Chains A and B, each alone.
Chain A
Amino acid sequence: MPKLLNLLLAVEHGMKKPVWDCTMCGQCVLHSTGMTCPMTCPKTLRNGPCGGVREDGHCEVKPEMRCVWVKAYDRKVSLPLPTVWKEHYNDLRPPVDMQLKGTSSWVNLITKRDQQTPAGWAKRKEETGAH
């Protein structure tokens, strides 16, 4: 098993690094963010853009880079992505689980490990319905 895991990890990173500059956070949300990785945002924001986006749509922190969330919103509006993906765009995504850093999000998806949230978060989600 560890061999297979390592293989999956290598394949996932090999594919995602060149296209999305993947940092292997282990809890991939690409499908719900217009196929734009929020971990490339210098503030690693997973729930939309900060207030510092420049008038030209570029990043507060790196003026030479287009804001990740401007890109994500454009793509959500214009790309022919599946409707269910677009519906998840406004989800309240939970804080990153730092324990998953460096693991394969594919494996975490299959085992549902990537859906585990702290008990307080899970309880509120249950009580208020889907975010």
Chain B
Amino acid sequence: MSKLRDLLTQSKDVVYTAEFPVIDGGGMEQVKKNVDRLSPWFVAVNATDNTAAHAHASNVSVAIAMKQHGLEPIMQIVCRDKNRLAVQADMAGANLHGIENIALLTGDDVTAGDEPETRRVFDLDGPQAINVASILNAGTYLSGRKLSPAPNFFICSVENPFAPPHDYRIERALKKHRAGAQMIQLQIGYHPDRLEKFCAGVAATVPDLAIIPSVVLIKSAKPLGFMNDKVPGISVPQEVIDRVAQSADQAEAAYQLALEQAKHALSLPGVRGLHITDFRHDDTLERLMYDLGRTPNQYK
């Protein structure tokens, strides 16, 4: 049973999601620590799939571990490293373990990672992978071969309304919705005008597609400059970098920026919650949640 789906389809509650830290060390102890930190605030948390093109403990294994520790996973499947057989195997494996929330992503390129010499796969693209999840939900693999019991996936996806061609991002979100996506998390972005246009355009056509914009917690202006220079698809306007860089207390200015972004995003049509990316790893996460009117364990 997916609590995420229930909240989105049967309530008006605001949904908060986050990213589960990658697991390279610390074993199950580390999994438990992460769960303890995240579960008071989030209804479901993304189990990533070789995020940023680095190898880590696998999406399926982390999703299972999270579930065992009582935190609902949103299991990502990325098209970069897996052909259509492997993508479907991940889905069938999730189904076997009762994992219902899955997120299908095209994925960033292998050049973003620490093994750029690897082969890029992209046998499917994001919208095709979403459609494949819908096909599995109907009780067969892509080939038509039976899969029983049929999964009951709550299908999620990701879109980047901040990257060109901006107008086309709305059409692409609608295409993902036609393929079967019911929730769409947005990439990190610092152009409120683009976000407004995207949400208005999507909500006007498919009001039931839950839009979940991202908010990032950082400590200073440095990561803003880094994202702008080094991460394709993210642009941070100079005024935004200056606003934090020229402040006497950068950590505070960065926090106020995030809080402002969060409140603005929540006011937009179609937005049903927020995805919090925490690069600070201090008590700011709690502060943000309290400032947004949340208290711990509201989803329990």
Contacts and interface: CB of A to CB of B under 8 A. Distances in A.
Interface of A: 42-55, 57, 60-61, 63, 67, 69-70, 73-74, 90, 92-96, 118-121, 123-124, 127-128, 131
B235 interface: yes
Contacts of B233: 50-54, 60
Interface of B: 79-80, 84, 106-109, 111, 120, 122-128, 131-132, 134-135, 138, 140-145, 158-160, 163-165, 167-168, 171-172, 174-175, 178-179, 187, 232-233, 235
A36 B295 CA distance: 51
B138 A46 contact: no
A60 B143 contact: no
B109 A60 contact: yes
Chain B binding surface SS class: loop
9 contacts: A44-B125, A49-B168, A55-B235, A90-B174, A92-B178, A95-B123, A120-B138, A124-B135, A124-B138
A45 B125 contact: yes
Contact of A60 (B79, B108, B123, B179): B108
Chain A binding surface SS class: loop
A125 B131 CA distance: 10
B194 to A, nearest CB: 11
Contacts of A118: 142-144
Given A61-B109, A120-B140, A53 B232 contact: yes
